[in-house]
């Protein structure tokens, strides 16, 4: 077996090439962390569309709120040991849920 950078040495016939370890890359080289994350988000979104939105599918939400609202959301998140996104999910669920 020769080194990958060696372009002058010929391969010896009859000796099988040793397979590389790990999962084979998609394309010419391994994906970057950003490419893997983008593919993962796209896959989750496709799954959500196929299942009619059942299950939890995180999406990016960007909006402008008052500073007092931001502080209140952060305080709620801190007090409940969760993220601001989870606080918003809980508030929306409480608003949509039928009132007893």
* ∠ Cα 75 79 81 (to 5°): 110
Domain boundaries, the chain: 29-58, 61-100
Cβ-Cβ contacts under 8 Å for 84 (sequence gap 6 or more) = 73, 74, 77
Would you say residue 85 has pLDDT above 80?
A: yes
Cβ-Cβ contacts under 8 Å for 11 (sequence gap 6 or more) = 2, 17
Cβ-Cβ contacts under 8 Å for 38 (sequence gap 6 or more) = none
Per-residue pLDDT reduced to its tens digit, 12-54: 777 777 777 887 887 888 889 999 999 988 888 888 888 876 7
Rounded to whole angstroms, the Cα distance separating 98 from 93 reads 10
């Amino acid at each position: 077996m020769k080194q990958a950078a060696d372009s002058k040495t010929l391969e010896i016939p009859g000796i099988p090439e040793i397979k590389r370890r790990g999962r084979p890359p998609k394309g010419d080289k391994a994906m970057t962390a950003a490419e893997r994350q983008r593919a993962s988000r796209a896959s989750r979104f496709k799954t959500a569309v196929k299942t009619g939105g059942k299950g939890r599918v995180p999406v990016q939400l960007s909006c402008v709120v008052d500073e007092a609202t931001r502080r209140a959301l952060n305080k709620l998140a801190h007090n409940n040991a969760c993220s601001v996104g989870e606080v918003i999910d809980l508030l929306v669920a409480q608003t949509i849920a039928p009132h007893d």
